């Protein structure tokens, strides 16, 4: 299978500039241009592009994705597990932050619903700059 960069981008559900960006970052190879013609990409490029997108969806940084791509070739499971464990820990922190924000906003919404008099507690919390302590 031989495709242009636009076909590769479509197959990976990204834009052409995203493909070029990944190439500049060293995550995707830019094939040679035989005789100055159009670069052609193969199924391996599609798989790699989809790998990058999946790893991004899991929250890995581009640097970590680059390392994962290198590990794939080297079969270094220990390091891959370490990267995954680090990512899980970061997700746990983010989940805790989101749960705290949800609880605070729920509390403010209940206060707002409890009375139609006075300032709305939700708006007041943000106006006062109290969102860091309230939400």
Q: pLDDT, tens digit, for every residue of 12-26?
A: 999 999 999 999 999
Per-residue pLDDT band at 132 (split at 50, 70, 90): very low
- Where are the strands (E) in 28-111, listed by range? none
Look at the pTM and tell me if it is higher than 0.75.
no
pLDDT at 37 over 90: no
What average pLDDT does the segment 80-108 reach? Answer: 94
Under 8 Å between Cβ of 65 and 52 = yes
What average pLDDT does the segment 34-49 reach? Answer: 89
Residue 124: predicted pLDDT: 86
Which residues are paired to 3 by β-bridges? 41
Residue 75: predicted pLDDT: 74
Alpha carbons 53 and 20: distance in angstroms, whole number: 14
Alpha carbons 131 and 134: distance in angstroms, whole number: 5
Under 8 Å between Cβ of 56 and 18 = no
Under 8 Å between Cβ of 112 and 120 = yes
């Amino acid at each position: 299978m031989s495709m242009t960069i636009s076909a590769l981008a479509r197959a990976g559900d990204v834009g052409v500039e995203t493909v070029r960006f990944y190439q500049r970052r060293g995550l995707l190879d830019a094939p040679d241009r035989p005789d100055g013609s159009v670069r052609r990409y193969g199924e391996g490029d599609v798989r790699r592009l989809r790998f990058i997108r999946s790893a991004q969806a899991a929250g890995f940084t581009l640097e970590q994705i680059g390392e994962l791509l290198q590990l794939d070739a080297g079969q270094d499971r220990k390091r891959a597990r370490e990267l995954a464990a680090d990512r899980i820990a970061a997700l746990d922190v983010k989940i805790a932050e989101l749960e705290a924000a949800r609880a605070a906003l729920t509390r403010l919404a209940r206060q707002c619903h409890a009375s139609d008099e006075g300032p709305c507690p939700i708006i007041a919390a943000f106006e006062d700059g109290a969102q860091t302590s309230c939400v």
